[in-house]
Structure 1
Amino acid sequence: MIKVLLFEDNKNFRQGLVLFLAALEDIWLVEAIPDARDAVYLVKKHKPDVVLMDIQMPRKSGLEALVEIRQAQPGAKVLMQTVFEDDDKIFQAICSGASGYIVKCPDPQVYVQAIREVYAGGAHMSPGISRKVLAMFQQQFVKSEQTFVDLTNREREILGCMVKGQSYKMIAANCGISFSTVATHVNHIYEKLHVNSAPEAVVKALEMKLV
């Protein structure tokens, strides 16, 4: 079961998501909080598999909370929520260690899919965010000395879908394979690229011109 900790200041939205997630067998919402002041304490207390964090929060922003959570719990998987696709804030969130982002919508299934993907090790990024992350890496880090990666045709196909910002569900549909098979291929891609997340994989794919 996937343990989820929710930080969301909109009462109606928060309560609606709580009711929907409560009906699922594979997701356990341990607590839903209206602000992020005690985010680090609550993450340490509940040890969630996925933290669902709104970027725009009262008293302490979701971005501030993200940084504090990642400093206290480096392995925490934090899925950020935004009202609009604000590239600058999403880019800042990814650079601060977010495992992915989701644009708020009335369909709770979108959240369920995103939570499951992040839990499985995936993330969702738009092409615009991918380019910004690549530019940041090029400016601040020495390029990898790795010049050859032995990816299978299927792995290259899936990596290309990741660069386009496709979700696991979209990749599965486009490639005609199951969600779990996509997750397995992505894990193999991570191993071969020596990375630990989708943003890192996308950066390396673009940097090495693998797709």
Structure 2
Amino acid sequence: MADKIICIVEDKPDLREGMSMMVQFTDGYELGGSYANAEEAMEKIPGIVPDAVLMDINLPGASGIACVTSLKAMFPQMLFLMCTAYEDNDKIFDSLKAGASGYILKTEGPARIMEALGDMLEGGSPMSSNIARKVVASFVSMGKDNQLIETLSDREKMVLEQLAKGLIGKEVADALQISGGTVRKHVQNIYKKLHVNTRVEAVNLYLKR
């Protein structure tokens, strides 16, 4: 069986060199190339078409997430393992939405990173345990948000949908052909049922459902 070609995108020279050596000394892997920034990676990787890429997030210039988005659009089959120091929720979900198949913290060490790479190449979606807990917690939270939205009446959902489009009270009234007073009453009920105090909070819950 042919060796799997791996590329690395990491801006810190010592870490990039260390990861490169890990790949070179692991049976079944071949180092396709290592790059210090997303721009170089986006230029060179299309000519290599590796099986997988170890991708840092916080890079000079374009981010690792932007790099994944760009390369994934060209090569849907290419696999990306985010190797990062960040446990930030937005970065986790932006990475997964961009097309990353795994998310590993650098602090877990070289052996775990290589184990995660192997897991991903075999069809898995490896994540550091605390990252996985954040993902699960987010889905639990989304489920609760959905339950709250479902307590709204059909008319209240219609009002909230108009608010989510950026319409103000009078515009909502015109769009739904109801009075301004009726809109205000619906909005009060929406706030009460969703346990929020502002339009922004209500719209955020609606959009996250």
If the length of structure 2 is used for normalisation, what is the TM-score? 0.60
Q: Which has the higher contact order (CA 8 A, sep 6+)?
A: 1
SS of 1:9's equivalent in the other structure is coil
- Provide TM-score, normalisation by structure 1: 0.60
Residues 67-117 of structure 1, C-alpha deviations (whole Å, 9 max, x = no match): 111111122111112103222201111112111111012721111101101
Question: By how many angstroms is 1:135 displaced?
Answer: 6.5
CA distance in structure 2 between the partners assigned to 1:96 and 1:136 by the alignment? 20
RMSD: 2.4
Distance apart, 1:38 and its partner CA: 3.3
Which one of the candidate residues 27, 30, 33 is aligned to 1:31? Answer: 33
Unpaired segments ≥5 residues, structure 1: 140-211
What is the distance in 2 between the residues matched to 1:39 and 1:56?
A: 14
2:136 alignment partner in structure 1: 130
> 1:22 pairs with 21, 24, 38, which one?
24
Q: Any runs of at least 4 consecutive aligned residues in structure 1 with deviations exceeding 4 A, and if so which?
A: 133-139
Counterpart for residue 62 of structure 1: 64
The separation in 2 between residues aligned to 1:59 and 1:10, in whole angstroms, is 14
Closer/same/farther in 2, CA of residues 137 and 62 from structure 1, 3 Å limit: farther
Max Rg structure? 2
Structure 2 stretches lacking a partner, 5+ long: 146-209
* Pairwise CA distance, 1:19: 2.0
Q: 2:104 aligns with which of 97, 102, 105?
A: 102
Q: Percent identity?
A: 29
Q: 1:59 to 1:72 in 2, by over 3 A?
A: same
Match of 2:42 among 37, 40, 57: 40
Residue identity opposite 2:79 in structure 1: K
Do the aligned partners of residues 61 and 137 (structure 1) sit closer, same or farther apart at CA in structure 2, a change above 3 Å counting? farther
CA–CA separation in structure 1 for the residues paired with 2:144 and 2:100: 19
Checking the alignment, whether the CA contact within 8 Å between 2:22 and 2:114 is kept in structure 1 is no
Bigger helix share: 2
Q: Is the 8 A contact 2:6 2:23 kept in 1?
A: no
Aligned to 1:37, the other structure's residue is in SS state: helix
What pairs up with 1:114-193 in 2 under 5 angstroms?
114-125=116-127, 126-132=132-138
Letter matched to residue 35 of structure 2? I
